[in-house]
Amino acid sequence: MLILASSSPRRSELLRLAGLEFTVEAADIDERLQAGESPATYVQRLAMEKAQAVWDHHKMEDTEDLIVLGADTTVVCDGAVLGKPEDQMDARRMLKMLEGRTHQVLTGIAAVSQRGLFSEVDITQVFFDLISEEEMTRYLASGEPMDKAGAYGIQGYASRWIPRVEGCFFNVMGLPLSRTMALLVKAREGRSEAQPPASRLAAL
């Protein structure tokens, strides 16, 4: 049994794309950045806390086959963590930081099972074009950037400004699928494999 400790529709979409069956149980944790915390440590900590919180909710049950998956994604530009914008003005500020430059998208993933807590961080480089004022205004008015780290989603309107990425495309959507599948196998078996056999992935 797999539980996704996230209410993100994009993560659910990606897990279904990978052929996994799961239920969703969002974790209620404090997602504020701690003083002196690096972006990588931040997303990894939140992923672990989400997974652990949902696991703890079920720990009095039969958890022999239970795996809880947590994830957290953030956008980083010049070392600054860009979370979800507070309003349109904040979204504009973030997009002006990103345009015409390269930034990083970091996703922490964590899986908890009876075999322990396993976690990793994936990093993708994203290249952004310049954004015209007309396009900026139209995009902000759409409301699309408001629930997304860095004020954009690569699978939406903002895709027109992204000529290329270096790294996992799905990581930018919120879940690096290949690394997630490997992590789930590790949580299931208590060990890591660089290329898990398809039969083991099918069992997840």
Token pair for 111: 């899986």
Structural domain total, the chain: 1
pLDDT at 28: 87
pLDDT at 31: 87
> Which CATH number characterizes residue 94's domain?
3.90.950.10
63 pLDDT tier (thresholds 50, 70, 90): confident
CA 156/CA 160 separation, integer angstroms:
8
CA 117/CA 140 separation, integer angstroms:
39
Interacting residues of 166 by C-beta distance below 8 A, sequence separation 6+: 124, 125, 127
Domain with 33 in it: 2-202
Catalytic-labelled residue, pool 72, 122, 129, 147:
72
pLDDT at 171: 97
pLDDT at 192: 47
CB 112 within 8 A of CB 187: yes
Closest CA to 73 of 97, 40, 49, 114: 40
Does residue 97 sit in helix, strand or coil?
Answer: helix
pLDDT digits (tens, 9 = 90+) for 4-51: 999 999 999 999 999 999 999 999 898 888 988 999 999 999 999 999
pLDDT at 202: 38
72 in active site: yes
Q: Whole-number mean pLDDT of the chain?
A: 91
What is the rounded average pLDDT of the residues 55-80? Answer: 91
60 pLDDT tier (thresholds 50, 70, 90): confident
CB 128 within 8 A of CB 158: no
Q: Is the pLDDT of residue 194 over 60?
A: no
